[in-house]
Amino acid sequence: MERPIRADGARGSAPRSGGPRGSAAGAAGGARGHAPRAGAGRRGPGDAERAGATGARPGRDDGGSRPGDQARGGARLAPKSVRLPEPAIPEGVTSRQLDRSVRAQLRTLSKENAEGVGAHLVMVAQLLDTNIQAAEAHAETAVRRAGRVPAAREALGLVAYRKGDWARALNEFRTARRLSGSSHLLPLMVDCERGLGRPDKALDLAASPEARTLEQAERIELAIVVSGIRRDAGQFEAAIAGLEGPALSSDARRPWTARLRYAYAEAKLALGDTDSARTWFARAADADDDLATDAAERLDELDGISFTDLLGDDEDDDPSDVAERVDPE
């Protein structure tokens, strides 16, 4: 099934116009394959019976105290916090599907907990583009079980980012950066500042010393975000200039090629250079083997082709009405 189209042209949900689709590192980006296995750390079907119907220990009243506690005037201890139910892990999911760098972070946990947390991180990766609510449940579980593991905080941040919850995403990304010492999430953090309506703070962060330590893929993602900020401010020439360089002019296909070309086309269109925008949307579509953007649809729009909803209420529509050429004004 084709993923929904975001407003910024990237397929999936929520990131802002021109913003990165998500981090290549960390929890969600580090899962390989889709072979789920039941995770560790879940309660078995007999646990409730062993604990009693209410979970109270034998010999206690419904308040959890021993008979006579009140008479002795002893203070009652506060009950331990109840472990929240965890989302199920399909059979076959294992932490071995995670990237090696993420598995290394899990070594600080017990073997059982590491396997359970790893399985939840794999599920975040599998569900991020298709079921954001389920992905959030797995990410929150991973954070509850391993709150000091950077990959867990990053995974929850990515979910919040996809949902457009910029404040929560920024908080999780900051925590992940503090725990890991890595600045690879900087493009996402800048885009969150943009989403929160703080463009000046976003630009300051983009110009920070940490930005100079980013690898090429991350620098390009950051350039795309900054171009979007410039475009928001009506600084169209600056938005264009910030994307120009060897990466844009290269004919090589890299993971960022389609998105970089798409952002450049958007900047050209904002400036009013429709012909150049069309050229770059076409180049973006040509490089977009994974359908990460809606470049092809944008190209059709510029060519005057509109598409109606094939799943509309009227099933008797003439197929010739599905795509009609509109005379440009």
**And the tokens for 236?**
């169209």
Q: Within this chain, do residues 240 and 293 fall inside the same structural domain, yes or no?
A: yes
Section 247-265 average pLDDT: 96
Answer yes or no: are the C-beta atoms of 2 and 288 closer than 8 Å.
Answer: no
Q: Within this chain, do residues 36 and 172 fall inside the same structural domain, yes or no?
A: yes
Q: Write the DSSP symbol of residue 3.
A: P
pLDDT at 147 exceeding the cut of 50: yes
Whole-number average pLDDT of the chain:
78
Answer yes or no: are the C-beta atoms of 311 and 295 closer than 8 Å.
Answer: no
Q: What is the pLDDT of residue 316?
A: 52
* pTM of the full structure: 0.72
Q: Residue 119 is part of a domain; what is its CATH number?
A: 1.25.40
Answer yes or no: are the C-beta atoms of 152 and 102 closer than 8 Å.
Answer: no
Q: Is residue 328 part of a domain?
A: yes
Q: Within this chain, do residues 157 and 191 fall inside the same structural domain, yes or no?
A: no
Q: What is the pLDDT of residue 314?
A: 52
Q: Within this chain, do residues 288 and 229 fall inside the same structural domain, yes or no?
A: yes
Range of the domain at 302: 182-309+319-329
Q: Is residue 69 part of a domain?
A: no
Helix (H, G, I), strand (E, B) or coil at 197: coil
Instruction: Compare 79 and 281 and report the one with higher pLDDT.
Output: 281
Q: Within this chain, do residues 200 and 139 fall inside the same structural domain, yes or no?
A: no
User: Strands 305-307 and 323-325: what pairing?
Assistant: antiparallel
Reported confidence tier of residue 306, pLDDT bands at 50, 70, 90: low
CA distances from 7 to 128, 213, 231, 286, 287 (A): 17, 30, 15, 20, 20
Q: How many CB atoms lie within 10 A of CB 219?
A: 18
Reported confidence tier of residue 304, pLDDT bands at 50, 70, 90: confident
Section 278-294 average pLDDT: 94
Q: Within this chain, do residues 225 and 283 fall inside the same structural domain, yes or no?
A: yes
Last residue of a domain, one of 130, 155, 181: 181
Section 314-326 average pLDDT: 48
Q: Is residue 63 part of a domain?
A: no
Mean pLDDT is lowest, of 79-83, 229-233, 281-285, for 79-83
Q: Residue 298 is part of a domain; what is its CATH number?
A: 1.25.40.10
The pLDDT tens digits for 28-56 are 444 333 222 222 232 233 333 223 333 33
Reported confidence tier of residue 309, pLDDT bands at 50, 70, 90: low
